Every structure is written in structure tokens, then in C-alpha cells.
Amino acid sequence: MVRSTTDGKTHAEHATQIAALAADAARGYFRGRLGVEFKTDESPVTQADKGVETIVRAYLAEHFPEDGIFGEEQGAEGLNRDHVWIIDPIDGTRSFLSGHPLFGFLLGLLVKGEPLLGVIGMPALNECLLGIKGQGAMLNGQSVSVSGTESLSHAVFFVNEGDKIYRDHPDLFGDLMHSGQTRRFAYDCYPHALVAMGHVDAVIDYDLQPYDFLPVAAVIEAAGGVITDWNGNPLNLKSDGRVISAATPALHAELLAMTQGR
């Protein structure tokens, strides 16, 4: 159960409010004139990334001053606390700065290291997925769930970060290209959101950070799906960023058989 906070709201209500604030802020920057910088790993960061995270942190500081925070742009504090919020202000900065609408906003709440709650917000699409452990997942307030697909041969699945998978694991990439009923290439969080909504059956992803996958993990599991690393381990702050999400255990097992030991 997601408990009420001191002001009477549940964590889920606060998370929904934060997502709305983040979406409004992101839309204010989208397709505008953006200052772009590049981090040491050559990934871009814009004024929007910094601005959205600042807004979210201010909200959390006001309502949850005792909780830890791990944000992409401003780092981590209090990771040893029982409650830790995870923030990715603009998931898909390269999409965002190129005017592509499939960038997201990710928010998660860990309780004693385990994902309890997750948000996948899609500001340009006016979509917000909320998942709560043991309580299901909702899209804009309406219940959603994963598909029942159990066989990879009948699955619609996405390969995220396909260029990196091809570079580092060409044999696996070749196997993926001969798998599934329908394959699509993509980046970022939206393919995982589509799994939670039941439109896509599985996603294989690569080279992620905790703020990329922990909010997503809460949503996928709340929607009835399965999400682990490539060796079948539960996701946590120390996971290596290689992720499989799938609608059913059987489908997940087929993908896992391809990735284990890679």
C-alpha cells in the first residue's frame, strides 16, 4: 500500500503532481531555442534537463525533506535512506533537442532499495503512466496491463540502443534480427511504456543508468510484466544497465536465453 503523507496525499498523488509540473516545464522548452552542452561521456544536456530537474527537486525538498534523491543532472544524496526518489528529467535528450516527441520524464520511488512506484511521463503526447507495486498501472488514470504473448515468434518487440548492441555484441544482434514476429528499433523509455500498455510484447535495452530503468521497472511490474537485467537478476541501483522487459515470464525466458552470459 502506498501510504498517505503528512499533508494527506499519497505518494502516488504527489508523483502525479510532479509529473504534471515536469511535463509543463518540458513543453515550455520543447522545439525552442535550447542551450546544449555535452557531458564527459559526450551525451548532451540541455537547459530543459537542468530546468525540469530543478523543479522536481524543489517539490521533493518541500514535501519529502527526509528522503534521498538520485537525479541525472544533479547527482545523488541520501542513497542510504529508506525512501529514495529517482529522477530522469528528460529521458531521451537527443530526441528532445532534435524536435522528436518521444522523449520522456521518469520518476521512481525506492523503498529500502526496491522500486515501489514509477512514472513514465510523455509530455509531448500528454500521456502519463503510473505504476504502483501490488496496485497495478494506469495511463492517464485508466488501468492498463501487459499483453499475454508468451512466444517470441509471435511477439512485437523493440531493440533499444541497437547501434550499441551491434557494436559490443554483434552475435546477439544477429540473433535478435532473426527473432520475433515484428521488430522495431528505438531508444529511451517509450517502448517500455508500450509494453506496460499492452501494445508491445518485449524490449531489450542496453547501456542504461539507474534513473533510466528503475522508474520503468516499477511500471512494468505493476502492469503485470517482467523486467530484469540480461542475467535474470532484479534491477537495483547497482545493476549494469542491460535490461529486458517482457509481457510474460515465458517470453522473458526466451529473450533471457539469448542474453545470458553475453
Split the chain (262 residues) into runs of 10 and give each run's mean pLDDT: 59 96 92 68 70 95 96 92 96 88 97 96 98 96 97 97 97 95 96 98 98 98 98 96 98 96 79
CB neighbours (10 Å) of residue 50?
17
pTM: 0.93
C-beta separation of 146 from 247 below 8 A: yes
Give 154's DSSP letter: G
Cell output for 13? 498523488
Centroid of chain to Cα 63: 23
- How far is 69 from 84, CA to CA, in rounded Å? 5
Q: Which three cell numbers stand for residue 16?
A: 502525479
Calpha distance 106→213 (Å, rounded): 9
Position 98 scores a pLDDT of 86
